[in-house]
Structure 1
């Protein structure tokens, strides 16, 4: 049985949209992971920095590249009315994600004694996975807010003509309501 757009439930449509969002989030995130791991590896092996400092440097650079992907590709249709607020929240939640990732790395290195480069990379993978779930939820919930969905207008019964002596509503909202009411009447099905 073929499913039409009308017979598809709103929940199924939202899940389908969420699946696409998760895939795009994964693509942007994967590019950030590549940047993150490449910078981390370079800082540890090329520059000889400590692992926690290397992790912070790598994560900060990955955060910058991820913001560009999220803002201009994944969440480009989201409300961008207040970029200052958006960037501030993005940095705050990215910072919490960095703390999660660095905390897991520090715990594995200093508490569990896992100190080889392979063990550090493994701890980084675990920390990054936990931080990614946190970031996905916080970015879509608080940082890149969805624009309010417009509800389809309910059918309106024909409106009696307004008497010439009745006051005409003024203001943009009243004018928009009148315009919508006349559009619905014009396209109402004939009985």
Structure 2
């Protein structure tokens, strides 16, 4: 990527003349690993709904099937939801660099929400080397998998902080969007 002089987020955004649309998922239909079922997508909120200098973020999910018969803390309210469990999102700035990890409340991604300990026990399953392969961007899934592995301790701490914050609110509290945040460190 460095050799080509193109940032990571540039590789998932639509090429000109197509325009980048806020709230849209990139790639369209998400990037799903055919082996693990883990997935990711990139999107951006309108400028007034994001941090200064933030461009957008990659949301990463484990497949619901990884949780067997374990009872979730919360379930999606929408009809025919994706069968996923949100792990974390990695935010990028307008220079295309990763800045911080966030853990969101359940209503944000309309996912099946599980306790931090259950997600932590399954983090090795968040393996996405082929996610995006059909769209020619599998290297993004590989990069995100490496970022997750390099940040394993931070991801665990993030999820535990999320649960601490969740103890003070509810999964459907729209005043509680981001429950935990930690800087991206290598």
The alignment's TM-score, normalised by the length of structure 1, stands at 0.32
Highest CA radius of gyration, 1 or 2? Answer: 1
Bigger fraction of residues in helix = 1
Bigger fraction of residues in strand = 2
Larger RCO, structure (CA 8 Å, separation 6 or more)? 2
